[in-house]
Amino acid sequence: MTQFSITPPAPVQTALDMLCAAGFEAYIVGGCVRDALRDTAPHDWDCTTNAKPQEICECFRGFHVIETGLQHGTVTVVIEHNPIEITTFRIDGVYADHRRPDSVTFTDSLTDDLARRDFTVNAMAYHPARGLIDPFHGADDLQCSLIRCVGDPKDRFDEDGLRILRAMRFASVLDFAVDPQTADAIRAQKHLLHHISAERIDTELTKLLCGTAAERVLTDFADVLFTVLPELEPMHGFDQRNPHHDYDVYTHTLKAVAACPPEPVLRWAALLHDTGKPHTFTEDERGGHFYGHAAVSAEIAKRALKAMKCDRKRYDRVLLLVEKHDMVMNGTEKQLKRLVRQIGEEAAEQLLLLHKADVTAQAACHRAERIEESDRLLGVLAALREADACMSLKQLAVSGGDLLALGIPQGKAVGQMLNRLLEAVMDGSLPNERDALLAYIQREHEP
Ligand code: ATP
Ligand code: MG
């Protein structure tokens, strides 16, 4: 490994200095070392020390100290408004439940602490004066873009099944390969994922989906994905027998995932959009068809997302996108405005992006023109937004209060009139100007 130095942010350096001044060892450790060595800005800086939790608290007397997980040896110290996690060197006890150690023991050995960590690239520590501490050769694996377990992969996954998805997640996010022995153990022990909570699986899978190499990782470890989402398995190898499609449904799905911007809602929608296809397949002399598959996909997506216990907001939006993904668009500005009115601007843009990803993942024959058409629609939407075009009630130049003031009776009539105004503004027969709208109301609402 060539010479390098990591400069932690000032508050983190303060934490290291204070622990060292009190006679303890202290290092930055884990993800921040990995990311700093890859020239990527770490999003949090974890510290590890041989000071026991109580000693950490004493060392930072006068600071705001949060006893985050005292029994596991984690204390959070707030320095200059930055929360810094400091964890005592520890050895994990037996993992009876394949997820969490029954007990932890504190240790004076940094190497022991690094040995309990999941992957070599996550098992490095660094101190500005002492340099890199890397007993498991994480820096070499980082250089070779490799995810490899610390120790025997089989044992490490047996201890904590979540590491199976973490390995795939890091491979996807960092665009790393998985070491063959680690990969074999992932496949052999995928059943351990049944011990892991839905929320944890959802978190890891969402990060994996948003990673650069999601398509490759989910191709290589399709069977692991099907262990947590069995609803997806029927797509695997399902021949579409249709000239628009070069790929089987699963391959097409992963290509659509990769073609979406790396954002959870879109990538989940892409993953689930065609789950209904294997269940709706029919064939005639023109080839395979999947009539009504979007509605069936939405039903399957409901089950899958519920099983993942994903939050309500994502659940609702992903379902909406899956349900509407196959909507035929003739692409006029008017139609687009109606779409925005119906589902909102953000969802409409997501639907167009999903549509673009979907056609990007289709056979080459019509792909270029379909992508072009998708881009055109996205352009029209951007222009409407730029022009602040009125596409929702709240953008109207009058409000319900104005209608009441003009004598429209409270209740249904107000909503009806507002909707009529919006229709008229959207189709261009009225300008979205207060005076014009008020005049229209007065004309229409003769007492
Ligand atoms: P990021 O925060 O970018 O997702 P990270 O490597 O910091 O990546 P965290 O989940 O924040 O990941 O965990 C911090 C460190 O704790 C890891 O780098 C790893 O050393 C260790 N670690 C986390 N989870 C596990 C686990 N399930 N098994 C073993 N070690 C783990
Ligand atoms: Mg982290």
Are residues 224 and 190 in contact, defined by beta-carbon separation less than 8 angstroms?
Answer: yes
- Residue 447: per-residue pLDDT: 60
Model pLDDT, residue 270: 98
Ligand 1 mean position, distance from CA 138 (Å): 14
Which has the closest alpha carbon to 127: 2, 41, 44, 20?
20
State how far the Cα of 54 lies from the Cα of 60, in Å rounded to an integer. 10
Q: Hey, what are 315's tokens?
A: 């659940």
User: For residue 268, which amino acid is it?
Assistant: W
Please tell me the residue having the least CA distance from ligand 1 atom 22.
117
Choose which residue among 85, 104, 117, 186 to substitute to test ligand 1 binding: the one with the highest number of ligand atoms within 8 A of its C-beta: 117
**Predicted local confidence at residue 93, as pLDDT:** 87
Q: Are strands 46-49 and 131-133 parallel, antiparallel or unpaired?
A: unpaired
The topology (CATH level 3) of 393-445 is: Serum Albumin; Chain A, Domain 1 (1.10.246)
Cα of 204 vs centre of ligand 1, distance in Å, is 12
Tell me the ligand closest to 27's alpha carbon.
Answer: 1
Which atom of ligand 1 lies nearest, measured to the CA of 32? 7
Q: Which residue has the least CA distance to atom 2 on ligand 1?
A: 31
Instruction: For strands 46-49 and 82-88, give the pairing.
Output: parallel
Q: What is the DSSP letter of 22?
A: T
User: In the CATH hierarchy, which fold is given to the domain comprising 10-144?
Assistant: Beta Polymerase; domain 2 (3.30.460)
Rounded to an integer, what distance in angstroms lies between the CA atom of residue 391 and that of residue 373? Answer: 22
Q: What ligand has the least distance to the C-alpha of 118?
A: 1
Given this model, what pLDDT does residue 290 score?
Answer: 85
Ligand nearest to the CA of 160: 1
Protein residues within 5 Å, CB atom, of ion ligand 2 = 31
Q: How far is the CA of 242 from the centre of ligand 2 (A)?
A: 45
Closest CA to 19 of 65, 52, 44, 68: 52
Instruction: Classify 388 as helix, strand or coil.
Output: coil
Ligand 1: distance of its center to the CA of 101 in Å?
Answer: 15
Three-class DSSP category at 46: strand
CA–centroid distance, residue 254 to ligand 2 (Å) = 27
Domain ranges for the chain:
10-144, 231-389, 393-445
Asked if the 231-389 domain carries CATH number 2.40.128, the reply is no
Phi, psi of 64 (to 5 degrees): -75, 115
Q: Which atom of ligand 1 is nearest to the CA of 117?
A: 30
Closest ligand 1 atom to residue 46 Cα is 14
Task: Walk along the chain (447 residues) and give the pLDDT tens digit of each residue.
Answer: 446 799 999 999 999 999 999 999 999 999 999 999 999 999 999 999 999 999 999 999 999 999 988 888 899 999 999 999 999 999 998 888 888 888 889 999 999 999 999 999 999 999 999 999 999 999 999 999 999 999 999 999 999 999 999 999 999 999 999 999 999 999 999 999 999 999 999 999 999 999 999 999 999 999 999 999 999 999 999 888 887 778 899 999 999 999 999 999 999 999 999 999 999 888 888 888 888 999 999 999 999 999 999 999 999 999 999 999 988 666 788 889 999 999 999 999 999 999 999 999 988 888 899 999 999 999 999 999 998 899 999 999 999 999 999 889 888 999 999 999 999 999 889 999 999 999 999 898 766
- What is the 82 CA–ligand 2 centroid distance (Å)? 15
The pLDDT value given to residue 1: 47
Q: Which residues line ligand 1 (CB under 6 A)?
A: 30-31, 46, 117-118, 122-123, 160, 162-163, 166
Among all bound ligands, the one having the nearest atom to the CA of 35 is 1
Query: Among residues 244, 299, 304, 247, which one has the least CA distance to residue 271?
Result: 304
Tell me the CA–centroid distance for residue 24 and ligand 1, in Å: 23
Q: What are phi and psi of 181, to 5 degrees?
A: -65, -40
pLDDT digits 0-9 by tens, 197-233: 999 999 999 999 999 999 999 999 999 999 999 999 9
Residue with tokens 């949060």, as numbered in its chain: 66
